Amino acid sequence: MKKVIITLFCLTISAAVVNAQNQPTPPNPAAKAATPPPPPPAPKESDPNAGKFQFKEEIHTFKDVPEGPLAEYDFEFKNTGKKPINITDAHGSCGCTVPTWPHEPILPGAKAKIHVAYTTQGRPGPIDKAVTINSDAAQAPMMLYIKGNVIAKPADPKPAAPPAPAAPGK
């Protein structure tokens, strides 16, 4: 009889512990009122002399492109700021969109290009990709976009089946 009582006691304690862990603790309104929320982060001070991107276009539409070859475009820009622009990184929104950027500083008044290549192979359908440019320019990060439509290449026609060999002796 002792074993049964001890077993029931242990099961009751275990059930109470498990149940206590599943119930959320109610918020303490007094503690919430006592601590003010943290102040918002200070806005990034912008350098009025920082380099500035001036792109010919920030969105390029390829329209219809065939599946297979790369869809490529050069985003041309000019630095209209008073300081050089140093591009530290550029990346596409997926691995199929690959940008190439100048690694040397773009001096004030100078022009440069960011080359973007999109892999169309195996990706029929709409194109809607972003390229993020990280730099020390006033517009950091800078976003560029490519859009369009990949037309699926026609399916290869199945070769005709060879004729069946004639039966011997006929």
pLDDT (tens digit, 9 = 90+) per residue, 17-35? 666 555 555 555 555 555 5
Whether residue 51 lies inside any domain: the answer is: no
Whether residue 140 lies inside any domain: the answer is: yes
In this prediction, residues 42-56 reach a mean pLDDT of 78
Over pLDDT 90: what percentage of the chain? 52
Give the residue, 140 or 46, on which the prediction is more confident. Answer: 140
Whether residue 20 lies inside any domain: the answer is: no
Q: Which string of b and e fits 50-66 if b means at least 16 CB within 10 Å?
A: bbbbebeeeebebeebe
Whether residue 8 lies inside any domain: the answer is: no
Whether residue 52 lies inside any domain: the answer is: no
Give the residue, 143 or 169, on which the prediction is more confident. Answer: 143
Whether residue 53 lies inside any domain: the answer is: no
Q: What pLDDT, on a 0 to 100 scale, did the predictor assign at position 158?
A: 63
Secondary structure of the chain as H, E, C letters: CHHHHHHHHHHHHHHHHHHHHHCCCCCCHHHHHHCCCCCCCCCCCCCCCCCCEEECCCEEEEEEEECCCCEEEEEEEEECCCCCECEEEEEECCCCEEEECCCCCECCCCEEEEEEEECCCCCCEEEEEEEEEEECCCCCCEEEEEEEEEECCCCCCCCCCCCCCCCCCC
End-to-end CA distance of the chain: 96
Q: What pLDDT, on a 0 to 100 scale, did the predictor assign at position 5?
A: 78
Q: What pLDDT, on a 0 to 100 scale, did the predictor assign at position 157?
A: 64
**Nearest-angstrom CA–CA distance, 129 and 151:** 17
Residue 113: give its domain's CATH number: 2.60.40.10
How many domains does one find in the chain?
A: 1
Give the residue, 29 or 104, on which the prediction is more confident. Answer: 104
Q: What pLDDT, on a 0 to 100 scale, did the predictor assign at position 110?
A: 94
Q: Which residue has the tokens 């920030």?
A: 58
Whether residue 86 lies inside any domain: the answer is: yes
Supply the mean pLDDT for the chain: 82
Domain span at residue 99 reads: 58-151
Whether residue 114 lies inside any domain: the answer is: yes
CB 145 within 8 A of CB 131: yes
In this prediction, residues 37-52 reach a mean pLDDT of 70
Before 141, cis peptide (omega within 30)?
yes
Q: What pLDDT, on a 0 to 100 scale, did the predictor assign at position 15?
A: 67
The least confident of 8-17, 52-61, 105-114, 138-147 is 8-17
